[in-house]
Amino acid sequence: MSDAHDSAADAPMFAAAAWRLTAFEADLTARVRELARTRFAPRAAEFDANATFPTANFADLRAHGLLGVCVPRAYGGLGADYRSYALAAAEIGRYCGATALTFNMHVCSCLWSGALADALEMSADQRSEHERRRARHYARIVHDGAIYAQPFSEGGSAAAGAVAFATVARRDGHGWRLRGRKIFASLSGHADYYGVLCTETVDDARLSRRHTLYVAVPAGADGVRIEGDWDPLGMRGTVSRTLVLDDVWVGDDEALMPSGLYYQAATRWPHMFLTLTPTYLGIAQAAFDFTVRYLRGEVPGQRGEKRRQVAVKQHAVATMRIMLEQTKALWFQAVSEACIDPSREQVSRAHCAQYAVMENANELCRQAIRTCGGQSMLKDLPLERLYRDSRCGALMLPWSADLCIERIGRDALYLEGEQDP
Ligand SMILES: Cc1cc2nc3c(=O)[nH]c(=O)nc-3n(C[C@H](O)[C@H](O)[C@H](O)COP(=O)(O)OP(=O)(O)OC[C@H]3O[C@@H](n4cnc5c(N)ncnc54)[C@H](O)[C@@H]3O)c2cc1C
């Protein structure tokens, strides 16, 4: 397999001085890039071919302390903030999309219960209870190497944020009883805990998004089942099969956020949904890097044959570079301004960034194949995998490409609360 990279094409995606990264960001991204380049890239083709979970990569992430990348320092983690994590995750996506995407599901369990929760409103009692509970989750991750998944999709409109989750949690003693079914549960069969989003039933009232509960379900709990096959077009290493929760009891302490707090997070910290983009930004970079190396005759097995002399190829590379730079600049700005209670303009820019990354990653892969030619898409080269993986980005809810377009247009044309007569 020819996933090796030469040094010229492996410069940092965001050079520390040029993008004014903090010392922490520069160090973290450098370490993560080296790990992904040397360990994840050579394995990517195999996980893709067999549609198997990148267990070896997660072992490496654990060995390097990266499972706890967004666990606050006070709990033994690296304490990376939102942007530092996003920059590091993009470097993983560059070398193995499926690893970056599944790692994101795991990291969200720390980011949402950590830095995000810290910014949200809670009563003093709620906060101290949350501190106690998250300490348990973080200890599992930091000390035991536990891996968390993030299954919220159900096949209806809930994952899009339009209605309450149909997976329900009913109070039962000092805990809840969960019933429901989650599709595309990435890390299925490989996670130790599933960070499930479900709706708490309150008396006989209709299910409400305000009662969304975010709770960790141990993989081995009674009533947890994984169903269905997994043989998709792209992102094959994510192993996103169906998770069935059949009357599963979980204790109060499994709550990853206090009741009702997820709803506050989703409405006040919307950039939480932008964390799927680093994976695909990394893929966009990889498609460009590959094209340059291929046309320069530097891809292993090419015998040094250069294909860069033709003007049309130079032109194509130029348009790819422009698209990549536009995408990275917009993404960097959106990620940099993530905060609680962002302005409407900032939220709209985040939607633009999501759309641009997801669509442009696929477009850059398409252009890379068109520019490099037929031999470049043979299966012993990574480009055709990048192309297939990149196709999945626009489908990711709640900020799918369609939904971003809908919101960007509406927010530009209507003021807050404004309606047509
Ligand atoms: C590789 C991969 C890994 C994934 N991993 C996870 C995971 O770990 N956890 C998880 O929860 N999910 C995961 N997903 C699922 C993903 O986020 C979506 O939920 C899923 O792709 C939706 O599939 P669907 O067939 O139900 O499409 P639909 O939801 O029917 O979407 C089809 C189209 O309809 C649009 N649409 C959907 N709802 C609305 C609406 N209310 N209003 C307007 N337009 C709408 C969408 O934008 C989309 O373009 C993963 C998906 C993939 C491809």
Residue-wise pLDDT tens digits, 218-253: 999 999 999 999 999 999 999 999 999 999 999 999
For ligand 1, the distance from its centroid to the CA atom of residue 234, given in whole angstroms, is 14
For ligand 1, the distance from its centroid to the CA atom of residue 395, given in whole angstroms, is 5
1 pLDDT band (50/70/90 cuts)?
very low
Q: Is the pLDDT of residue 2 over 50?
A: no
For residue 31, give the 3-state DSSP assignment: helix
What distances in angstroms separate CA 398 from CA 29, 160, 162, 354, 391, one per listed residue?
27, 4, 9, 11, 16
- What are the CB-based long-range contacts (under 8 Å, 24+) for 36-42? 36/91, 36/92, 36/94, 36/95, 36/96, 36/99, 37/5, 37/10, 37/95, 40/92, 40/95, 40/96, 40/99, 41/3, 41/4, 41/5, 41/95, 41/96, 41/382, 42/1, 42/3, 42/4
What's at 140, amino acid-wise? R
Is residue 16 packed enough to be buried (19+ CB in 10 Å), middle (13-18) or exposed (0-12)?
Answer: middle
Residue-wise pLDDT tens digits, 311-359: 999 999 999 999 999 999 999 999 999 999 999 999 999 999 999 999 9
Mean of pLDDT values over 390-413: 97
Q: Is the pLDDT of residue 22 over 60?
A: yes
Rounded-to-integer distance, Cα 1 and Cα 384, Å: 13
Neighbours of 188 (CB within 10 A): 23
Domains by residue range for the chain, with CATH: 7-147 (1.10.540.10), 168-264 (2.40.110.10), 267-413 (1.20.140.10)
Residue-wise pLDDT tens digits, 178-219: 999 999 999 999 999 999 999 999 887 889 999 999 999 999
Q: Tell me the whole-structure pTM to 2 decimals.
A: 0.96
Residue 392 sits at φ, ψ, to 5 deg, of -80, -20
Q: Which range, of 93-102, 183-192, 372-381, averages the lowest pLDDT?
A: 372-381
Residue-wise pLDDT tens digits, 111-167: 999 999 999 999 999 999 999 999 999 999 999 999 999 999 999 899 999 999 999
Rounded-to-integer distance, Cα 125 and Cα 129, Å: 6
In this structure, what token pair is assigned to residue 98?
A: 């499926």
Rounded-to-integer distance, Cα 262 and Cα 386, Å: 33
For ligand 1, the distance from its centroid to the CA atom of residue 387, given in whole angstroms, is 19
Q: Residue 46 has what pLDDT?
A: 98
Mutate to test the pocket of ligand 1, among 153, 399, 406 (most ligand atoms within 8 A of CB): 153
Q: Which atom of ligand 1 is nearest to the CA of 155?
A: 26
As for ligand 1, residues whose beta carbon falls within 6 Å of it are 105, 150-153, 155, 157, 159-160, 162, 184-186, 235, 238, 240, 392, 395-397, 400, 402-403
Rounded-to-integer distance, Cα 170 and Cα 156, Å: 21
For ligand 1, the distance from its centroid to the CA atom of residue 159, given in whole angstroms, is 7
* Share of residues in the chain with pLDDT > 70 (%): 98
Q: Which atom of ligand 1 is nearest to the CA of 98?
A: 1
Rounded-to-integer distance, Cα 130 and Cα 330, Å: 35
Mutate to test the pocket of ligand 1, among 188, 243, 395, 402 (most ligand atoms within 8 A of CB): 395
Q: Residue 202 has what pLDDT?
A: 83
Q: Ligand 1, atom 26: nearest CA belongs to which residue? A: 155
Give the chain's mean pLDDT. Answer: 95
For ligand 1, the distance from its centroid to the CA atom of residue 197, given in whole angstroms, is 15
